[in-house]
């Protein structure tokens, strides 16, 4: 099998031109968990009218989700994140929606106080539940019940509906302000919580006779969202800048208050780490969004924020698909940030296996032995046998374009080549190599007008970056000295110089203000040093 | 006494007849290396000055191992190098620079029949003329007396052939002989002089001579093995090839085809004046001086090499070239062996490469100690130091090709090389990157290096501090941390390691020093703390003065940093200034604590250089000398200093014959006593270095002929990196003779059979590839200085900044003293 002699070894090695190493953070910049949360490839769905008041997922595959915005309810496919259908038979702004547990019906409330139940397939309103006198902000199907609906309105009344007959079964009084949110227990069809602007969360049980709340906790701020945690024994409330965890079984004791948002937390939902068939343990997290534009992931077992993500707008609503593949965030300016994880490979490979069952088994080739005639007629494409002694071809060193040019001593071409590229680190690395070869200034003097323009725009962009400024500031001065004539002759180059001037002035301004800060700090330092 | 570190490339080496041994001139001895292992087998000792020529007597049977050596001590010796045993000495009392023995290359059978006189031609320096110039009455006082001459020497009768002086030159030249032994020649300025060896040798036979002229200074000469072709290289890199030289002059003795004898001047292209050659062709590839020129043994190829470190193989008929590039050092000699597949190449960096011939593959390298690297103007002050591994007897040297070479002083061989900068070294180029400092921790598990990238026209300069760590098993250092610009753009003056913990200090001319801490030990405790590299623990400065030296005390509780002429003492853990003592007259160059005692030795250089000893308990100077100290070394209670002799004393010393060419003195002091305990005078002290080696007695037992082995040895390395180890406390100097192990020889005798003998050994496969080194990087500045640096869009939000800032306030305190 030996085809090739080992190549001639040369005593020298070739070293590539590499950018300087960057400092690594003392702590890991990305924990495995934050890696997981950033693996949702965020995609913006723009151009919805007004703010997204609520987002809800269907419990059954393919997990459609409904986004309530303005006077319409838009259904999206969670697979493709494309618009599926629009329900627009509303008179007023849609405030909330909820799928039934089998995903075939959808209840939606609007600010006129009307609650409608739609068939998801045909989008026709099947029932109109009309009893609330004021806008309704909360409607939900209990997760274990297909016949009833819970709603809460600005009149402070919580209603328990029988959907089929369009009748109110129970009116639950007790809230002294708008009821804006609520959640049904995941373990019990008869229990649910509602949160109100009177700072309280009340736990209701429809089996209780006197229609009084079973339990009440005070959050301390108007409550924007409330949610049961999967065990049913804990629930989380969001209000003001804080998210609080309460122990239901322990009699409404507060377990933890998470206060890392800077503005009002508008919505919380349950996120899940890992998928069912994955080997990662199923872990639940609380996702909270706030008007400060941050989405935070809270680990309520360790009581720790594990991930934080910023969006460019105040966030209004958040939802996480039951299959753990899609995360949707609604903003106040009418766009949705929908993130979807990539499918795992094994699902596709399963498909391939399915097809390969039908393939006809090929007869196995007979193993070639040195006693066979054909053994000596093997071609170049012959695969090595297990027992064959393999002469390993040494790995070829991959050289970048600029490395190749530098190897041929084509210094100017190498510089132009990296300037064409995107990576400023490479440019600086090549410049440093040219300095080491005493060729940088010669290169600069050899650049033609177009290339000089490229160099100037690079310098304009990066000469104030602290990591490069040591080299680039000096270079810029030299370039301006050496090529003053050429720059004067060309308008484009003059333009570059103008930009350059502007960025330098900007930098000077920043440095001035930083010096001011330093002036404030240095007395403090002095005091600290004298301690 | 152990000596070593001699140059292996002062003169061309020679192969033994079976090509299994290589005879290399190393100083006063000839070292014999095995070509299969690259290790030294034995050495021929007997000359009292540098050996300049070694000639192996060719023999039909490969068992015979006789060689001739010539030395600057004026003697020619005849050895049986297999034993090794001195057989004969011919003393001609003139320093011999080169010697050839033509009759050895002729027919050896002829010699055996009847005992001929064996004649050698030697290139000597006539020192008699110089010592007593008045005795010889010269008719005309020449401006430059001709010291070099070529003489004939009768080796059988052991005397110079009287009155035969073939040529006289200003300086002794190297004689080149043709492989057939018929011609030999020298180069003399722009000329090449060639003599024909007479067929019948006698003392007064007439030698025929021809001259070939050129316009440039010739540097090297080579004869074709069979034809009458001579090649010569000049300083500009040209190679001239004269074919059929000496047709007229030498024709009488050697019958040639008469048809070729033209005699017409127009038929001789390229030949100058009336030179006796048929044609002269010029090849030009080398950009600079040609150092190596050699025909292959069959005469089909010509090997050439020069300063640029590329071996070029020319096909003699066509002029086609093949290259062996990136040797990384100027070539000096090329020697081929009786085995056609083996040849050797000597490089200026004290390495001899053994080449596998048709493929020009480097089989083995015999590397000697590397020479000190030359530095560009203005950067000499920044570079200093040779680091010693005191327990293992290793020395770490900065080399020109951006490496640190670890050289074993006890074994006299190179252990390993660590590439500090990822650059290829090209000999001829300007020096733009210099490794300036190297420091080893006491257990030599950590190494710190500093390098400078020299700016081009004021831009692009960079100072780098690198920390290296050894793996647990192997001695190879791997990069742990790079710190760019550790003290802004100021150069680093010193690196010192804490004796016990993983702490280092670097001081800079920019006026501050930094204490660095390795976070390796914390890694196990906190898995989140991934960064295992070195990071800045504290920064200190004293009145913005340049920090010129730094040292930790033996227990690591005190850090002494020299601030120009003052010595500042710090608590390294809390970074608090403890005391300031001073001052000296000129800036302090080095600081060191003497063992566990309370004394600190400071040396300063300049117009009023000084060696001063400071007492830590009294915080004052104990005693001092006005001496220019080149290096110093510390033992438990005493220290040694290498002092350069002042100019005036040196002149006086010549007359008094106390210092013959010696410019330095090693003084051994007891730290409390200003009177030196002992002193030794040494040569080439400028740039030298000293160290005490705590050597395990059993490891040097075999070097010592008698007596108890000493606990400590003092190592002195001079400017040329030749070194000597001796016991500084011994009453009489132990004469340590280097006895080399003979077991190295046994392994190489096993011949190769079958496949291996035809195709050579199968290459070894390295399954475990070297893993990419992950090098973390520490922030180089104080955090509260850097967090506000930079443009605003790069600044993290204020909430993050604030916590970092306040944290930094809590952790560190600068001990700035105004």
Kindly report, residue by residue over B350-399, the tens digit of the pLDDT: 899 999 888 888 888 888 888 877 777 777 666 777 888 888 888 898 88
In percent, how much of chain A has pLDDT > 70?
A: 90
Alpha-carbon distance of B708 to B701, in angstroms, equals 8
> Which residues on chain B are in Cβ contact (under 8 Å) with A464?
791
Residue B36's Cβ-side half-sphere holds a number of Cα atoms within 13 Å equal to: 15
- State pLDDT tens for residues A485-507: 988 998 999 999 999 999 999 99
What's the pLDDT score for residue B809?
A: 66
pLDDT at B815 over 60: no
Alpha carbon of residue B789 to chain centroid: 45
Distance from CA of A261 to the nearest CA of B (A): 12
Is residue B518 a contact partner of residue B480, using CB atoms and an 8 Å limit?
A: yes
Partner A contacted by B484 (CB < 8 A): yes
- State pLDDT tens for residues A145-173: 888 999 999 988 999 999 989 889 888 88
More confident residue, B78 or A4: B78
Contact A470 B489 (CB under 8 A): yes
| Highest mean pLDDT of the ranges A391-405, B226-240, B244-258 | B226-240
Alpha-carbon distance of B714 to A388, in angstroms, equals 57
Q: Which of B30, B23, B77, B79 is nearest to B50 (CA)?
A: B30
Partner B contacted by A510 (CB < 8 A): yes
**Complex-level ipTM beyond the 0.85 threshold:** no
pLDDT band at B777 (very low <50, low <70, confident <90, very high): very low
Q: Which of A422, A379, A382 is nearest to A402 (CA)?
A: A422
> Which residues on chain A are in Cβ contact (under 8 Å) with B432?
435-438
Alpha carbon of residue A424 to chain centroid: 27
Contact A470 B485 (CB under 8 A): yes
| Highest mean pLDDT of the ranges A45-54, A85-94, A393-402 | A85-94
In percent, how much of chain B has pLDDT > 70?
A: 77
Alpha-carbon distance of B216 to B290, in angstroms, equals 12
> Which residues on chain A are in Cβ contact (under 8 Å) with B533?
24
Name the β-bridge partners of B296: none
Least confident of B106-120, B383-397, B707-721: B106-120
Instruction: Name the closest residue on chain B to residue A517, using Cα atoms.
Output: B788
Distance from CA of A484 to the nearest CA of B (A): 18
B residues 741..780 contacting A (CB < 8 A): 763, 765, 775-779
Contact B791 A9 (CB under 8 A): no
Assigned token pair, B481: 């941390």
Alpha-carbon distance of A349 to A344, in angstroms, equals 9
- State pLDDT tens for residues B13-25: 999 888 888 999 9
Partner B contacted by A523 (CB < 8 A): no
Partner B contacted by A507 (CB < 8 A): yes
What's the pLDDT score for residue B754?
A: 47
Q: At what angle do helices A449-462 and A424-436 cross, to 10 degrees?
A: 110
pLDDT band at A12 (very low <50, low <70, confident <90, very high): low
Distance from CA of A502 to the nearest CA of B (A): 14
Give chain A's mean pLDDT: 84
Give chain B's mean pLDDT: 78
Instruction: Name the closest residue on chain A to residue B328, using Cα atoms.
Output: A12
Residue B355's Cβ-side half-sphere holds a number of Cα atoms within 13 Å equal to: 23
pLDDT at A268 over 90: yes
Partner A contacted by B796 (CB < 8 A): no
Instruction: Name the closest residue on chain A to residue B779, using Cα atoms.
Output: A23
What's the pLDDT score for residue B739?
A: 34
pLDDT band at B781 (very low <50, low <70, confident <90, very high): very low
In percent, how much of chain B has pLDDT > 90?
A: 10
Contact A24 B784 (CB under 8 A): no
Least confident of B130-139, B194-203, B580-589: B130-139
Contact A464 B791 (CB under 8 A): yes
What's the pLDDT score for residue B515?
A: 92
Instruction: Name the closest residue on chain B to residue A475, using Cα atoms.
Output: B459
Alpha-carbon distance of B594 to B614, in angstroms, equals 10
What's the pLDDT score for residue B765?
A: 47
Measure CB to CB from residue B325 to each of A10, A513, A525 and give the nearest one.
A10
Contact B424 A15 (CB under 8 A): yes
Measure CB to CB from residue B327 to each of A8, A11, A21 and give the nearest one.
A11
Rounded mean pLDDT of B415-423? 86
The backbone torsions φ and ψ at residue B336, rounded to the nearest 5 degrees and listed phi first, read -105, 155
Residue spans of alpha helices (H) in A202-344 = none
Rounded mean pLDDT of B276-290? 87
The DSSP line for A379-429 is -TTPPPPTTSPP-PPPPPPP--HHHHHHHTT-HHHHHHHHHHSS-HHHHHH
Which of B456, B488, B762, B799 is the mutation pick for testing A, counting most A CBs within 10 A? Answer: B456
A residues 393..452 contacting B (CB < 8 A): 431-432, 435-438, 440-441
- Tokens 């319409």 — which residue? A72
Is residue B222 a contact partner of residue B232, using CB atoms and an 8 Å limit?
A: yes
Partner A contacted by B358 (CB < 8 A): no
Query: Which are the contacts of A502, defined by CB distance < 8 A and separation ≥ 6?
Result: none
Three-state SS at B328: coil
pLDDT at A17 over 60: yes
Q: Which of A432, A22, A15 is nearest to B481 (CA)?
A: A22
Distance from CA of B462 to the nearest CA of A (A): 9
What's the pLDDT score for residue A379?
A: 76
Contact A21 B778 (CB under 8 A): no
What's the pLDDT score for residue B163?
A: 63
What's the pLDDT score for residue B381?
A: 67
| Highest mean pLDDT of the ranges A378-382, B338-342, B769-773 | B338-342
Q: Would you report the helix, strand and coil content of chain B in percent, each value rounded to 5?
A: 10, 45, 50
Instruction: Name the closest residue on chain B to residue A477, using Cα atoms.
Output: B459
Partner B contacted by A530 (CB < 8 A): no
pLDDT at B524 over 50: no
Alpha-carbon distance of B640 to B626, in angstroms, equals 15
Measure CB to CB from residue B362 to each of A9, A18, A392 and give the nearest one.
A9
Partner B contacted by A23 (CB < 8 A): yes
Contact A465 B814 (CB under 8 A): no
pLDDT at B132 over 80: no
> Which residues on chain A are in Cβ contact (under 8 Å) with B359?
8
> Which residues on chain B are in Cβ contact (under 8 Å) with A15?
422-424
pTM as predicted: 0.70
Partner A contacted by B431 (CB < 8 A): no
The DSSP line for B164-181 is EEEEEESS----EE-TTS
pLDDT at B138 over 50: no
pLDDT band at B529 (very low <50, low <70, confident <90, very high): very low
Partner B contacted by A466 (CB < 8 A): yes
Measure CB to CB from residue A440 to each of B359, B456, B763 and give the nearest one.
B456
Tell me which H or E stretch contains A14. Answer: none
- State pLDDT tens for residues A24-81: 666 656 777 888 888 888 888 887 878 888 999 998 888 889 999 888 899 998 888 8
Alpha-carbon distance of B336 to B292, in angstroms, equals 12
Partner B contacted by A310 (CB < 8 A): no
Query: Which are the contacts of A12, defined by CB distance < 8 A and separation ≥ 6?
Result: B325, B326, B327, B328, B424, B425
What's the pLDDT score for residue A13?
A: 65
- State pLDDT tens for residues A285-312: 899 999 999 999 998 888 888 888 899 8
């Amino acid at each position: 099998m030996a085809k090739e002699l080992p190549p001639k070894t040369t005593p020298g090695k070739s070293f590539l031109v590499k950018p300087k190493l960057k400092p690594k953070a003392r702590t890991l910049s990305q924990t495995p968990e934050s890696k997981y949360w950033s693996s949702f490839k965020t995609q913006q769905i723009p151009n919805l009218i007004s703010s997204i008041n609520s987002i809800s997922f269907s419990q059954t595959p393919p997990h459609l989700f409904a986004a309530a915005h303005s006077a319409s309810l838009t259904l999206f496919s969670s697979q493709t994140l494309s618009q599926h259908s629009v329900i627009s038979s509303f008179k007023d702004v849609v405030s909330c929606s909820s799928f039934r547990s089998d995903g075939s019906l959808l209840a939606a409330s609007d600010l006129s106080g009307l609650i409608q139940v739609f068939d998801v397939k045909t989008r026709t309103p099947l029932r109109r539940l009309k009893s609330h006198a004021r806008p309704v902000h909360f409607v939900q199907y209990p997760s274990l019940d297909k016949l009833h609906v819970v709603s809460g309105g600005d009149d402070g009344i919580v209603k328990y509906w029988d959907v089929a007959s369009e009748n109110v079964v129970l009116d639950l009084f007790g809230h002294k302000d708008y009821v804006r949110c609520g959640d049904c227990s995941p373990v019990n069809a008869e229990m649910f919580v509602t949160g109100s602007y009177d700072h309280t969360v009340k736990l209701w049980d429809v089996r209780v006779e006197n229609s009084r709340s079973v339990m009440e906790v005070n959050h301390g701020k108007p409550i924007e969202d409330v949610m049961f945690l999967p065990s049913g024994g804990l629930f989380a409330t969001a209000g003001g800048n804080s998210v609080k965890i309460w122990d239901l079984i322990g009699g409404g004791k507060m377990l933890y208050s998470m206060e890392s948002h800077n503005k009002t937390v508008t919505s919380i939902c349950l996120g899940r780490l890992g998928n069912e068939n994955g080997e990662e343990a199923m872990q639940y997290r609380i996702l909270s969004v706030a008007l400060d534009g941050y989405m935070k992931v809270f680990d309520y077992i360790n009581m720790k924020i594990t991930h934080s993500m910023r969006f460019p707008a105040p966030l209004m609503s958040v939802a996480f698909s039951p299959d753990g593949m899609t995360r949707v965030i609604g903003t106040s300016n009418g766009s949705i940030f929908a993130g979807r994880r990539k499918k795992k490979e094994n699902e596709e490979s399963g498909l391939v296996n399915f097809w390969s069952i039908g393939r006809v088994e090929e007869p196995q080739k007979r193993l070639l032995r040195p006693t066979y005639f054909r053994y000596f007629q093997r071609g170049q494409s012959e695969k090595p046998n297990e027992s064959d002694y393999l002469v390993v071809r040494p790995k070829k060193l991959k050289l970048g374009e600029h490395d190749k040019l530098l190897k041929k001593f084509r210094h100017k071409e190498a510089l132009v080549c990296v300037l064409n590229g995107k990576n400023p680190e490479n440019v600086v690395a090549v410049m440093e190599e040219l300095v080491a070869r005493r060729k940088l200034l010669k290169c600069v003097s050899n650049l033609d007008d177009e290339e000089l323009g490229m160099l100037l725009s690079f310098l304009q962009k990066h000469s104030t970056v602290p990591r490069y400024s040591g080299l680039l500031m000096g270079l810029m001065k030299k370039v301006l000295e050496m090529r003053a004539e050429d720059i004067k002759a060309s308008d484009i180059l003059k333009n570059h110089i103008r930009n350059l001037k502007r960025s330098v002035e900007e930098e000077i301004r920043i440095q001035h203000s930083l010096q001011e800060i330093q002036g404030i700090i240095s007395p403090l330092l002095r005091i600290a040093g004298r301690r | 006494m152990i000596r070593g570190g001699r140059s292996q490339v002062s003169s061309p080496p020679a192969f033994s007849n079976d090509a299994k041994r290589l005879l290399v001139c190393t100083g006063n001895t000839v070292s014999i290396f095995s070509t299969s292992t690259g290790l030294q087998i034995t050495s021929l000792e007997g000359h009292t000055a540098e050996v300049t020529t070694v000639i192996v007597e060719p023999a039909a049977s490969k068992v015979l191992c006789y060689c001739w050596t010539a030395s600057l001590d004026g003697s020619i010796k005849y050895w049986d190098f297999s034993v090794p045993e001195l057989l004969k000495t011919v003393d001609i009392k003139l320093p011999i620079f080169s010697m050839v023995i033509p009759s050895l290359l002729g027919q050896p059978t002829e010699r055996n029949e009847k005992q001929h006189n064996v004649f050698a031609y030697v290139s000597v320096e006539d020192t008699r003329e110089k010592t007593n110039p008045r005795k010889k009455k010269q008719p005309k006082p020449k401006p430059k007396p001709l010291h070099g001459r070529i003489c004939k020497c009768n080796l059988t009768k052991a005397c110079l052939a009287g009155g035969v002086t073939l040529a006289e030159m200003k300086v002794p030249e190297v004689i080149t002989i043709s492989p057939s032994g018929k011609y030999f020649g020298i180069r003399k300025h722009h000329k090449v002089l060639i003599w024909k060896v007479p067929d019948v040798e006698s003392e007064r036979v007439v030698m025929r001579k021809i001259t070939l002229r050129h316009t440039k200074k010739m540097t090297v000469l080579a004869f074709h093995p069979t034809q009458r072709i001579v090649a010569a290289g000049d300083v500009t890199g040209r190679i001239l090839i004269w074919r059929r030289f000496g047709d007229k002059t030498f024709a009488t003795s050697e019958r040639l085809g008469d048809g070729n004898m033209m005699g017409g001047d127009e038929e001789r292209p390229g030949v100058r004046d009336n030179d006796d050659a048929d044609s002269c062709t010029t090849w030009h590839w080398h950009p600079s001086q040609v150092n190596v020129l050699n025909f292959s043994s069959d005469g089909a190829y010509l090997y050439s090499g020069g300063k640029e470190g590329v071996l070029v193989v020319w096909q003699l008929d066509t002029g086609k070239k093949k290259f062996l590039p990136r040797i990384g050092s100027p070539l000096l000699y090329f020697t081929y062996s009786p085995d056609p597949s083996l040849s050797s190449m000597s490089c200026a960096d004290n390495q001899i490469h053994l080449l596998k011939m048709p493929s020009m593959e480097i089989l083995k390298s015999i590397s000697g100690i590397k020479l000190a690297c030359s530095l560009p103007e203005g950067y000499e002050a920044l570079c200093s130091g040779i680091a010693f591994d005191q327990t293992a007897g290793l020395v770490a040297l900065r080399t020109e090709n951006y490496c640190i070479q670890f050289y074993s002083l006890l074994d006299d061989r190179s252990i390993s090389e660590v590439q500090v900068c990822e650059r290829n070294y090209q000999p001829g180029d300007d020096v733009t990157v210099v490794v300036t400092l190297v420091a080893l921790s006491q257990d030599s598990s950590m190494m710190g290096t500093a390098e400078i990238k020299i700016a081009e026209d004021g831009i692009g300069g960079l100072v780098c501090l690198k920390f290296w760590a050894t793996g647990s098993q192997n001695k190879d250092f791997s990069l742990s941390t790079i710190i760019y610009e550790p003290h802004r753009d100021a150069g680093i003056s010193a690196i010192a390691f804490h004796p016990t913990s993983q702490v280092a200090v670097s001081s800079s001319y920019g006026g501050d020093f930094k204490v660095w801490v390795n976070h390796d030990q914390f890694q196990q405790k906190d898995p989140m703390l991934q960064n295992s590299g070195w990071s800045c623990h504290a920064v200190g400065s004293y009145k913005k003065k340049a920090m010129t030296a730094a040292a930790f005390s033996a227990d690591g509780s005190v850090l002494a940093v020299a601030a120009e002429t003052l010595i500042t003492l710090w608590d390294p853990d809390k970074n608090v200034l403890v005391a300031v003592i001073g001052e000296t007259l000129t800036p302090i160059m080095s600081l060191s604590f003497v063992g566990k005692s309370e004394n600190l030795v400071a040396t300063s250089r300049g117009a009023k250089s000084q060696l001063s000893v400071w007492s830590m308990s009294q915080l004052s100077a104990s005693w001092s000398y006005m001496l220019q100290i080149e290096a110093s070394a510390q033992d438990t209670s005493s220290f040694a200093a290498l002092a350069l002799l002042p100019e005036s004393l040196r002149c006086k010393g010549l007359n008094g014959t106390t210092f013959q060419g010696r410019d330095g003195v090693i003084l051994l002091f007891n730290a409390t006593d200003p009177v030196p305990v002992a002193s030794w005078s040494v040569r080439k002290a400028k740039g030298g270095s000293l160290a005490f080696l705590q050597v395990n007695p059993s490891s040097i037992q075999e070097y010592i002929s008698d007596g108890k082995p000493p606990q400590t040895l003092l190592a002195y390395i001079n400017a040329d990196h030749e070194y000597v180890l001796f016991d500084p406390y011994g009453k009489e100097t132990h004469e340590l003779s280097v006895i080399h192990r003979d077991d190295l020889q046994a392994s190489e005798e096993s011949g190769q059979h079958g496949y291996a003998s035809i195709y050579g050994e199968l290459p070894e496969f390295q399954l475990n590839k070297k893993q990419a080194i992950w090098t973390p990087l520490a922030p180089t500045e104080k955090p509260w200085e850097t967090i506000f640096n930079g443009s605003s869009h790069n600044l993290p939000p204020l909430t993050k900044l604030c916590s970092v800032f306040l944290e930094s306030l809590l952790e560190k305190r600068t001990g700035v003293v105004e």
